[in-house]
Homo-oligomer: A and B are copies of this chain.
Amino acid sequence: MILALAGGVGGAKLADGLYRSLAPDALTIVVNTGDDFDLYGLRISPDADTVLYTLAGLANPETGWGIAGDTFATLDMLRRYGEDTWFMLGDRDFATHIQRTRWLREGKTPTEIASAFATLLGVRARLLPMCDAAVATRVNTPAGELAFQDYFVRRHHSDEVLGVRFEGIADAQVTQTLRDAIDQAETIVFCPSNPIVSIGPILAVAGVRDLIRQARAPRVAISPIVGGQALRGPADRMLAGLGDEVSAFGVARLYADVLDGMIIDSADASLAGRIRDELHLDVHVTDTVMRTQSDRLRLAQEALQFAQHRIRAGKSL
């Protein structure tokens, strides 16, 4: 059993590589739900949907999010009804949000709903939201505190980030399903997602960070920062705003207590020594930019082999 921690598009790509590298039932993906929000009275879960659509082979290859070939008639009509249509929701995508909202109102948990969607779309990996409580990432900026999607989508993550908090996190508990998944994991992979607002919320759920710290499985992470820049999104500016080093080293340091090995890009090979010496982590250097399907597969397989190497080296097993 392999456990992956993932956020949005970059995380979904590696999760897809893992899914296609393993027996279909062998993968569990824990997904950030701190980005979840309500729009038009519907519950939207962007990271969960990105992973779901990617693994189901439905994802839009141009954007990474949404459904390939989706149309926007519902959103057009909502615009006619005076709505601000700043968040692009396709017609097929709306079906997901309609269904999720209805299931939530019927009393289903996010864990049950993620599992139902996976089954219905033929995804045999297990998709787990990080918790069943509602957690909302909020970003403090010079313009004030913003709801995450306001910051990220509506304002194109152009505000300086002064701080981040996860509203509702105090009431969030690790689910039994996630606890079992961490216990039973043979390998834990941190996908190359934003360490602050994608992986950060997952680790902030009460119990998760401790369980991963104590896990028997080797734990490896892939840096989403390459050459001092985020491959996608605002991770670089967020790290800078929060006073962290904007590098693979900075990311590794955030994970150091819950990690055995760090995978960094060839462009960052010079950081390997510092990560080994200062953070006491193994380092694997490779090309980490996933442009093609075969990039996803190769990087996933290297991550698994790197973790296996930890097992062979005798890591606490």
Contact = CB atoms under 8 A, between A and B. Distances in A.
Interface residues of A, number: 31
Nearest to A79: B95
A71 B98 contact: no
A70 interface: yes
A142 interface: no
B77 A92 contact: yes
A81 B40 contact: no
Interface string A149-167: 0000000000000000000
A309 interface: no
Contact of A74 (B40, B95, B117): B95
Q: Most B CB atoms within 10 A — which of A42, A74, A82, A99?
A: A74
Given A71-B71, A73-B90, A90-B73, A78 B95 contact: yes
> Chain copies in the assembly?
2
A101 interface: yes
A70 B91 CA distance: 11
A291 interface: no
Contacts of A76: 92, 95
A81 B95 contact: yes
A92 B80 CA distance: 10
10 contacts: A73-B73, A73-B90, A74-B92, A74-B95, A74-B98, A76-B92, A77-B91, A77-B92, A81-B120, A94-B98
Given A73-B95, A74-B98, 6 more contacts: A71-B73, A73-B92, A75-B95, A77-B91, A80-B121, A91-B94
